[in-house]
Amino acid sequence: MKEIPRFDETLLEESQQDETPVTASLSGDIDVSPSNARALLARTDADAMNDLISDYRPFILASASRVCNRPIDPDNDDEFSTAMLAFYEAVRSYDPSRGAFLSFARSVIRTRLIDGFRKAGRRPPEVPLEDEPEEDGNYRADPTVGASVEAFQREAQTQERREEIARFSAELAKWNLTFRDLADASPKASKTRTACGTLVRELLVDADLRAVFLRSRQLPIAAMCQRSGVPRKIAERHRRYIVSAVLVLCGDYPYMAEHLRWMRARK
C-alpha cells in the first residue's frame, strides 16, 4: 500500500523559520482566502485597490521575472509596468468561480507580458529565435538560463512560502489552533490518515456542509461521518488536523495544498 504523505511536521519546521505577524481573515463558502476577499473589495474600492497593489508588489515583480526568465528592475524595465497593469486588470475582472485570485492574477500577468513580446516582435531574451510558443501561448524557457535567474526564482519562492505560512498561522489563530496543535493531532497511521482525508473531502465536495463549518467554526462531525462511513471517534480524535486540512484546501495556500492534494483525488 502506497504511503500517504504527511505535511504537518514539514509545515511546523518551516513556520518556526518565519515569525513575521500577518493579519488574515477567512469567510464565505468557497475559495475564501484573504487575497480573494481583498481582490473582490478592491474591484469597487479605490483605496482597497491601491493597498492591494502596494502589498502585492513583490508578487507582481516575482511573477513578471518568472515570465521573462530574468530579474526585473521595477524602476527601469517596462515589463514591470505591464505586469502592474495586468494585476490591476486581474482585480477588476476577478470572478471567484475562476479559483484563487493569485493564480488568476499570475495567469493574466503572464498573458499580458507575452502579448507585449508579440506586439514588439520580440521574445524573452533567453528564448532562442527558432523557438515557437506552445499551443497555450506560453514560451518555452531556455534550458541555459543563468544561475542568477534561478537563484532569484528560488528566493522568490522561498519568500512566497514564508508569507503563505505566516498567513496560515494567522488564520489558525482565529480558530484557536497553532502549528504545534496540527503536528500533535496528525494521525500517525496511514489508514487513519486515509480516513481523515475522506472526512476532509466530504467538506470539499459539499457546499452546504462547508458553509456550516465556516460559519460556525465547528466540524459537522455527525453529518460527515454518516455520509462517509468513517467512525466518529476518528473525526473527534483528529478534529484539529481535519480543520487545518480543510482550511488549507479551501484557501489560497498552494505550497501547503501540494502536501494534501491526495485528499482531493481520493474517492
CB 246 within 8 A of CB 200: yes
Answer whether 198's CB lies under 8 Å from 264's CB.
no
Q: What is the pLDDT of residue 233?
A: 93
- Per-residue model confidence (pLDDT) at position 225: 92
- Could you tell me the pTM of the whole model? 0.49
Residues 78-92 pLDDT 10s: 889 999 999 999 999
The pLDDT value recorded for residue 111 is 87
Q: Decide if 158 contacts 13 (C-beta within 8 A).
A: no
In the chain, domain spans: 8-22+166-265, 34-162
CA distance 12 to 17: 9
Q: Is the dihedral of CA 101, 165, 267, 175 positive or negative?
A: negative
With cell 512566497, the residue in question is: 160
Alpha-carbon span 103 to 238, nearest angstrom: 31
Work out whether the CA dihedral 58, 136, 35, 5 comes out positive or negative.
negative
The torsion defined by the Cα of 80, 55, 110 and 155, in degrees rounded to 10, comes to 90
Interatomic CA distance for residues 190 and 120, integer angstroms: 54
| Digitized pLDDT (tens) for each residue of the chain, 267 residues in all | 444 444 444 454 444 444 333 333 333 333 446 788 888 889 888 888 988 998 898 889 888 888 888 888 888 888 899 999 999 999 998 887 767 888 888 888 988 888 888 877 776 544 333 334 444 444 444 343 344 445 555 666 777 788 888 888 888 888 988 888 777 778 888 899 899 999 999 888 888 888 889 899 999 999 999 988 999 999 999 999 999 999 988 888 888 888 888 887 655
Query: Would you state the pLDDT for residue 183?
Result: 77
